[in-house]
Structure 1
Amino acid sequence: MVSSTAQPPATKRLAGRTALVTGGSRGIGRAIAERLGREGARVGVHFGGDATAAKDTATAIEAAGGTAFTVQARLGKAGDAEGLWSAFDAQADGLDILVNNAGVNGGQVRPAEVTPEAFDHLFAVNTKAPFFITQQGLSRLRDGGRIINVSSGLTRGGAAPDLLAYAMTKGAIDVFTMTLAKELGARAITVNAVAPGVVDTDMNADWLRASAEAQAGVSAASPLGRVGVPDDIAGVAAFLASEDSRWVTGQWIDATGGALF
């Protein structure tokens, strides 16, 4: 599989800023956390249950010359936002960049087979948690800050039926993004969503990495002729976190490699 692995030079354009990346220990979240660290931010790496993966991410950030700390909170449960911010406050005195990345897809399930319990869990983790994490984080987020929500290309390209419930959770995130941008503009806080397509992560490993046919099909969907990798999404997030994006807010950024053309 052709991939993009080149690391950009460290510009330190986020020096002096503190970031929190939910779900920052693996996949897209880890790539974003590492990129923000290389750009100079002090990064809070949130994780749900895998402390080893979170520590590995923090160690990688520090090995590249950055600073990081870990934040544990199991999302989708009562008190998740409160627990997250309590853990964060013990290690930081404010926030400049919030990346709502943590999410689950629930697997590929036909609409007729989605259970109420599975539906509720998807919305609890993917929609309710970022809403209340953000709500409770606004008192910590400094003026001129950045909120970056990870959406999905499925909300614009039309979801496969077996990912309908998942796509609905991300559709809610799109509305959240556009509306919150209007609410926070007076504080010079921008709010944007980055929408990946299929990305080569553990979440997609069971069908993508195991099938040359699947890899070929996904690659063919992009004019760039390859499957996306986490660093592709991290680059977009780094732009949205930077001062360069100060005039961009309320936007849904297509990061599908052109697959929606």
Structure 2
Amino acid sequence: MKNRLLPAALLFALFAPVLAGAAGSVPSALTNTCIGQNFDGVTPPALPSGWTSTVVGAPTTAPFITRAVGYSDTGPNAAFLDDTLDYADVSLYSTTFAVNSTDIPYVNFRHSYYLWTPDASPTNNGAYNGGVLEISINGGPYTDLVAAGGSFYAGGYNSHLDPGFPNPIDQPASTRAVWSGNSGGFITTTAIIPPSAVGGTVKFRWRLGTAGGSRSYDTHSGWWIDSIQTQALNTIGDYIFTDGFEGGNCH
């Protein structure tokens, strides 16, 4: 069945109450979860079909992999990238999703991070290493979710990059908002997809930039990503029901 596209003004009216909501648990309008990725359908270190990782600027830095070491949100596996001593730009790319117009589109995921920073507080300059969520709409360039017109309902960025330490992801601003420091275990992030993506396609990029020179050495250092769920997004191709995906009604 084809989706009936809604006028842009109506879509913005539908999104407005959610975008204005205070951070907290997922509201009732965002609970029709239909597709999930828990990384448990593969044998580590492989990523699920349709998911890839790249490393820019540091050939000795490892890409995102799946890892089973007893630290995950669900099941044995989680996607993992260790904090690094290198000046590096490392990304985890999702498969492609089609965005329908019947519900407010969002992506919800659980993640844990322990990344190098003197203090993940704006009062102390900011972070040296940090992670962000970016989105590509209709095959366009990847842009920070917020800059693209999206919003975090819960679990948004907690710090910003230190402008005194160059970072490969410090564009468009040297004080770019990021996740950094110690999350204290797995936390939930809920990100509202930009209204401009409705009726088109999107891909997500979890991107970590490291300034080089030092790193965190906690038992669970790095960035662990798990339990990714979506609403109003359909996978493109044959990835649904395979490689850890769980199906549901996305219409």
- TM-score of the superposed pair, with normalisation by structure 2: 0.27
Give the TM-score taking structure 1 as reference length. 0.27
Higher strand residue share = 2
More helix by share: 1
Structure number with greater CO (CA < 8 Å, separation at least 6) is: 2
